[in-house]
Structure formats: C-alpha cells, structure tokens
C-alpha cells in the first residue's frame, strides 16, 4: 500500500511536468494529515515536507494561481533564476494539501492559461488527495483488523485509543469517553495517558466543558491552548498537563455514543486535515462500538430483574468479582450493603402481591436515587437487595446506609422499613461470597434487634470479642 501511494504521487508530479512543459515540478506540503502519512511512506524527492515559517505564511495568505514575485521566491526559499515559478494551490474535500510549484518560462498568465493551470490543479488535487486518503484508510484498516468478532467493548475502545495515538504520534495521548444519555454523563473508558486504575470510572457532566460543547453541537473542535478557553473545565484525568486538545464526537446513525479526545501537553494548532483524520477514526469507532454496545446492553438486559430493574444475582456475582479485583489492585476501599424489607411477607398477605411488587419498585427507586451510577445495585432474592460501593470510605458507607433506611420510611406507600447489614473489603475478606456472608450476618443482627436498623459486621465482631 505504501509503495502504491508513493508511486501515485510521483506519477502525478511527473505527468504535470510533461503536460505543462515545465522544467521542474515540486509539491510543498504543510503539517496535518501529511504528518501521519510521512511516518509510513517514503515520498518522492519533489515532495517538500515541513517548509519554513515564511513559506507556510505565504502559502496560507495565497490561495490563487499566480507567478511568484520576488517576495514569494524569497519566502518559499527558491533559487532566483531566469525562469519563473507558477504557484498552484491544491485543495481536496476542504483539505489544504499544499501547493505545486512549476518552474516555467512563462512570465505572466493569460486568462486561458490560468484556466488551463486551474484544470491542472483540479486534476492534481484529486489524484494526490485520493493518494493521501488511501494512506489514511490503510491506517484505519490496520486498526479495524485488530478487532475480533466477540471482543469486549473496553478492549475495542483501548485498541482505538492506542491506534489514534500511534496515528498522530507518540507526543499525543488519547482518551475515549462513552456518553450515557440517561444520567447525562461521560464515562472515561479508554486512555493512553494514565494507567487503568487511575481513570477507570472517571465520570464528567456531559453538559459542561469542551466535551459537553462537542456533544451538544455534534461537531469536532480543536483548541490550541485549553488554559485560555473559558469552556474548559476539569474534564480530563489530568487537565493540568494538557494544553492542546482536539475532540470529535463518536456518532452512529445520528446517535451520540461518546467522544474521542486527542491531547497534547504543548500548544497545538490543529489543521483541518488532522480534525478530518480524527473524524474518520471516530466514524470507525462508531461502527465498531455500536455493535459492541448493543451486545453489551443485551447481556445486561438479560441480567436485570424485570420487577425492580435492579441487576440480577448472577450479574452481581460476576461484577462483584471484577470490582473486588480492581479494589485490591488499586488499594481502594469497597463496601457491601445487604438490605431486607421488614415484614414483607405480612405486606403480601395483607395487601396482595400487586402491592408487594409496588413496594419492591418503590424501595428499588429510593435506593437508585441515593447511590451513584457507578455503584452496583442488585436484587439478591425475594425482598433482599445488595449494593456494592467502590471507593467509598467506611464512614460514608454508614451515612449512605442510614440515608437509604430513613428515606424508604418516608417515600413508600404503604410505609415499610428495611434492615441493613454492612461488610467491608479487608485482607481476610477478599471474595464476593465472604462479603455477602458477613453482610448477611450483620443483617441478621439488625433483624434480631428490632429491625429498621443498620449493623456493621466489623463492629459486631469487636463487640463479641469483648464479651
């Protein structure tokens, strides 16, 4: 593929030289998409990459076909000689490809000659633009080949993040956020910038910041220095070390799935071509993720209790193992709450099972409104529920439990109460079964001591040892 791209550009320049009767023909490019392709292709000698600042300024200021004057020859660092230079800008699908410089005997251009060279520019732009796109698509194709049919969503996301970083260069980093329309949050799911234990479950408000602007407008954005942009907030895992940012939405069939962030620790003016590449990567991500997200959601639906919409016991057991592993690896805390509706059999016997189901739904709703979206809430069986709270201190866990207990009394009709047992992850308590067993012991203590109480396993053990 690389040799084909190189030959295509080489042939285009050679043909232009022959057709126009020029002594020499060279292509001057600026940064942008060429930065990406330059890493993968050996371009012909007529290809001038990264011209001087004077040359870049001249190219930026002139978008018409003309014969260079003395200033143009000086700025473009050309040799002053008897022949002239014809300046032909190239654009392709809104991308600025650069310019072709033709060494020629012409001293001025007639209207018919301008029309001829305009036709040459159009032909060259299409040929070179398609060669550039072929190079870019070969990069995208390489990334897509890394996917397997049943690859997990997070694995796909990390491949896209790594592929984006490799595409733009090692001086960049990439973060991918997935959008949750229900909670209106963006959840960081892949990053090349920090290790997994630091960014996992990192969540920001999708209505704020630069990411929020991109979500709202469904358009990409490039910011050379976020420290000077009033829209920028703490929306990256380490904003203090980020200066240049390019963000594009991940969209599939008009639906926002998330955003890709390209990050630099230096000021960076992002070219239209670079934004275009990021959009192509996002488009590929959208296609790949739509299928993976749908599959993940189907799996989750199969593990959701139909009455309370809480997760099932099966999901709790598999997710609980993962949460414990992450907590142990990161050294973070993990708490488990086991809740039981007091005298629920009496509710069913008195009011009937329809009211019983209504109570289950009310209790479930209260619990969901008092925990985070990143917490795990499951129906364990009958009138029993379990909540897993990652990265929550023991004192805060007790506060959450008490708040849930009080609000269930206040917000259920007919009024019911709950008993709660709490256990904490510890060196001697490192499995989901152990956490449940100890929380169940604490729950039993609450029920044996008047119900409508919160009991903590560790405190019960200390108390029993004293006896």
Residue among 291, 336, 342, 348 nearest 437 (CA):
336
Count: domains in the chain: 3
Question: Between these two residues, 198 and 181, which has the higher pLDDT value?
Answer: 181
Q: What is the pLDDT of residue 5?
A: 66
Are residues 409 and 450 both part of a single domain? yes
Residue 55: the pLDDT is 84
Residues 295-354 have pLDDT tens digits of 766 766 678 888 998 999 988 998 999 899 988 988 889 999 999 999 999 999 999 999
Rounded-to-integer distance, Cα 393 and Cα 335, Å: 8
pLDDT, position 269: 83
**Residue 2 near residue 40, CB atoms below 8 Å:** yes
Domain that holds residue 100: 1-141
Report the alpha-carbon distance of residue 333 to residue 394 in Å, rounded.
8
Asked if residue 147 is part of any domain, the answer here is no
In the prediction, which pLDDT does 234 show?
A: 55
Structure tokens at 377: 């809430």
pLDDT at 227: 82
Q: Looking at the structure, do residues 191 and 279 belong to the same domain, yes or no?
A: yes
Query: Does residue 77 lie in a domain region?
Result: yes
Tell me: do 221 and 321 sit in the same domain.
Answer: no
Residues 136 and 185 placed together within one structural domain of the fold: no
d(CA 385, CA 380): 5
Would you state the pLDDT for residue 320?
92
In order, the DSSP letters of 292-331 are: HHHHHHHHHHHTB-TTT-PBPHHHHHHHHHHHHHHHHHHT
Average pLDDT estimate for 254-261: 90
Cα atoms in the Cβ-side hemisphere of radius 13 Å centred on 450: 4
320 and 290 in a common domain:
no
The pLDDT of residue 364? 95
Residues 285 and 342 in one domain: no
Domain assignment present for residue 328? The answer is yes
The last residue of a domain, from among 245, 268, 301: 301
Q: Does a structural domain hold residue 308?
A: no
- Return the CATH number at 342: 3.30.70.270
Instruction: Note the pLDDT of residue 463.
Output: 61
Asked whether residue 384 falls in the same domain as residue 408, the answer is yes
Convert the pLDDT of each residue in 361-396 to its tens digit. Answer: 999 999 999 998 889 999 999 999 999 999 899 999
What does the pLDDT average to over 183-189?
A: 82
267 and 351 belong to one structural domain: no
pLDDT at 79 over 50: yes
For the annotated catalytic residues, the residue numbers are 383
The Cβ of residue 180 has, within 10 Å, a number of other Cβ atoms equal to 14
Residue 402 inside a domain? The answer is yes
Are 62 and 126 part of one and the same domain?
yes
Does 131 share its domain with 159?
no
Across the range 245-271, mean pLDDT stands at 89
Higher-confidence residue of 320 and 194: namely: 320
| Per-residue model confidence as pLDDT tens digits over 199-221 | 455 677 777 889 999 999 999 99
Residue 306 domain-assigned (yes or no): no
Ordered strands of the 66-67 beta sheet? 47-48, 24-28, 95-104, 84-92, 66-67
Task: Count other C-beta atoms under 10 Å from residue 232's C-beta.
Answer: 20
Residues 121 and 189 in one domain: no
Question: Which pLDDT score is estimated for 301?
Answer: 67
Nearest Cα neighbor of 202 from 167, 159, 237, 169 is: 237
DSSP letters, 96-158, are EEEEEEEEES-SS--HHHHHHHHHHHHHHHHHHHHHHHHHHHHHHHHHHTT--TT--HHHHHH
Closest CA to 172 of 22, 31, 339, 365: 31
Examine the fold and report which residue of 141, 161, 184 is the final residue of a domain before the chain moves on: 141
- Helix (H) or strand (E) run with residue 4 in it: helix 2-20
CATH code of the domain containing 49? 3.30.450.40
Q: How high is the mean pLDDT of the chain?
A: 84
Written as six digits, the tokens of 404 are 């849930």
Task: Summarize pLDDT for 403-436 with one digit per residue, the tens.
Answer: 999 999 999 999 999 999 999 999 888 899 999 9
The answer to whether residue 231 is domain-embedded is: yes
17 in the same domain as 118: yes
pLDDT at 358 over 90: yes
Q: Which token pair is 437?
A: 């067993």
Q: Is the pLDDT of residue 271 over 90?
A: no
pLDDT in tens, 217-242: 999 999 988 888 877 765 554 555 78
Condensed to tens digits (0 to 9), the pLDDT of residues 42-64 reads 665 656 656 778 888 888 888 89
Task: Answer with the one of 82, 106, 141 that is the final residue of a domain.
Answer: 141
| SS3 call for 150 | coil
Residue 333 falls within a domain, yes or no? Answer: yes
Q: How many residues can be counted in the chain? A: 467
pTM: 0.54
- Angle 272-302/111-144 helices, nearest 10 degrees? 30
């Amino acid at each position: 593929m690389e040799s084909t791209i190189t030959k295509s550009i080489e042939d285009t320049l050679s043909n232009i030289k022959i057709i126009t009767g020029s002594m020499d023909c060279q292509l001057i490019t600026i940064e942008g998409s060429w930065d990406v392709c330059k890493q993968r292709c050996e371009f012909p000698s007529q290809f001038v990459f990264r011209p001087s600042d004077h040359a870049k300024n001249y190219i930026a200021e002139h978008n018409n076909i003309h014969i260079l004057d003395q200033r143009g020859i000086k700025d473009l660092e050309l040799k002053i000689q008897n022949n002239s230079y014809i300046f032909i800008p190239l654009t392709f699908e809104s991308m600025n490809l650069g310019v072709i410089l033709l060494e020629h005997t012409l001293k001025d251009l007639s209207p018919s000659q301008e029309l001829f060279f305009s036709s040459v520019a159009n032909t060259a732009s299409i040929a070179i633009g398609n060669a550039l796109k072929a190079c870019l698509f070969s990069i995208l194709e390489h990334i897509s080949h890394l996917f397997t049919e049943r690859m997990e969503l997070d694995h796909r996301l990390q491949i896209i993040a790594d592929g984006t970083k490799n595409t733009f260069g090692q001086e960049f980093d990439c973060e991918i956020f997935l959008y949750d329309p229900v909670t209106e949050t963006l959840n960081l799911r892949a990053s090349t910038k920090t290790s997994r234990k630091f960014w996992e479950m990192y969540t920001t408000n999708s209505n704020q910041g630069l990411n929020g602007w991109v979500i709202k407008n469904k358009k990409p954005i490039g910011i050379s220095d976020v420290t000077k942009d009033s829209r920028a907030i703490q929306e990256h895992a380490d904003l203090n070390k980020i200066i240049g940012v390019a963000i594009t939405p991940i969209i599939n069939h008009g639906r926002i799935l998330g955003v890709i962030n390209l990050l630099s620790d230096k000021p960076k003016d992002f070219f239209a071509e670079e934004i275009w590449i990021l959009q192509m990567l996002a488009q590929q991500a959208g296609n790949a993720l739509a299928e993976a997200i749908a599959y993940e959601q189907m799996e989750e639906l199969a593990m959701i209790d139909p009455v309370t919409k809480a997760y099932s016991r099966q999901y709790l057991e598999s997710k609980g193992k993962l949460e414990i592993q992450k907590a142990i690896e990161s050294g973070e805390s993990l708490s488990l709450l086991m809740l039981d509706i007091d005298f629920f059999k009496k509710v069913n016997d008195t009011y009937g099972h329809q009211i019983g189901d209504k109570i289950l739904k009310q209790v479930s709703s209260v619990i969901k409104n008092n925990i985070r979206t990143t917490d795990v809430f499951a129906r364990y069986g009958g009138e029993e529920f379990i909540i897993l709270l990652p990265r929550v201190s023991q004192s805060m866990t007790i506060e959450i439990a008490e708040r849930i207990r009080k609000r269930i009394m206040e917000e259920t009709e007919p009024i019911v109460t709950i008993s709660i047992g709490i256990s904490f992850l510890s060196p001697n308590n490192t499995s989901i079964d152990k956490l449940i067993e100890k929380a169940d012991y604490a729950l039993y203590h609450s029920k044996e001591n008047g119900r409508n109480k919160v009991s903590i396993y560790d405190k019960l053990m200390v108390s029993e040892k004293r006896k």
